[in-house]
């Protein structure tokens, strides 16, 4: 019996092993601007990594407690978690819902993958 679980939603999937879960959104591209919500306020430590083809795009990591109104989350220095190139950042807040959002379209070849690791 494996000691991990995999959960798949329409536009994200997660891999869990012990108290650590990795959530992957791999459909942030020229067509899909917003990743589906991940519900995980029980995870106190969160780090997001973004890689891919940017073509001028900007991707924000957003949070919400009502799945309607979203705010850009911040890093430990109080800066917006916003990417225009490959990178990694820690997320300070623990909202009910977290998602990536492409706020600046960029060109037609945008294809960005977002992986967030969380630890309870």
Domain harbouring 88, CATH code: 2.60.120
pLDDT, tens digit (0-9, with 9 covering 90-100), for 9-27: 556 667 788 888 899 998 8
**Are 100 and 110 within 8 A, CB to CB?**
no
pLDDT, tens digit (0-9, with 9 covering 90-100), for 86-111: 999 999 999 999 999 999 998 899 99
- Structurally, the chain folds into a number of domains equal to 1
pLDDT, tens digit (0-9, with 9 covering 90-100), for 49-77: 999 999 999 999 999 999 999 999 999 99
Domain extent at residue 32: 4-119
DSSP letter for each residue of 32-101: --BPPPEE-TT--EEEEEEEEE-TT-EEEEEEESSSSS-EE-B-TTS-B-EESSSEEEEE----SEEEEE
pLDDT, tens digit (0-9, with 9 covering 90-100), for 32-51: 999 999 998 999 999 999 99
């Amino acid at each position: 019996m494996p000691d991990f679980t995999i959960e798949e939603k329409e536009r994200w999937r997660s891999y869990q092993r012990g108290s650590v879960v990795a959530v992957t959104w791999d459909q942030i591209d020229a067509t899909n601007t917003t990743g589906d919500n991940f519900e995980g306020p029980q995870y106190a430590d969160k780090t997001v990594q973004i890689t891919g083809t940017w073509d001028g795009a900007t991707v924000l990591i957003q949070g919400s407690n009502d799945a309607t109104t979203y705010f850009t989350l911040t890093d430990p220095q109080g800066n917006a978690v916003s990417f225009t190139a490959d990178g990694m950042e820690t997320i300070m807040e623990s909202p009910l819902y977290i998602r990536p959002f492409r706020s600046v379209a960029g060109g037609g070849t945008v294809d960005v993958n977002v992986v967030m690791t969380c630890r309870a």
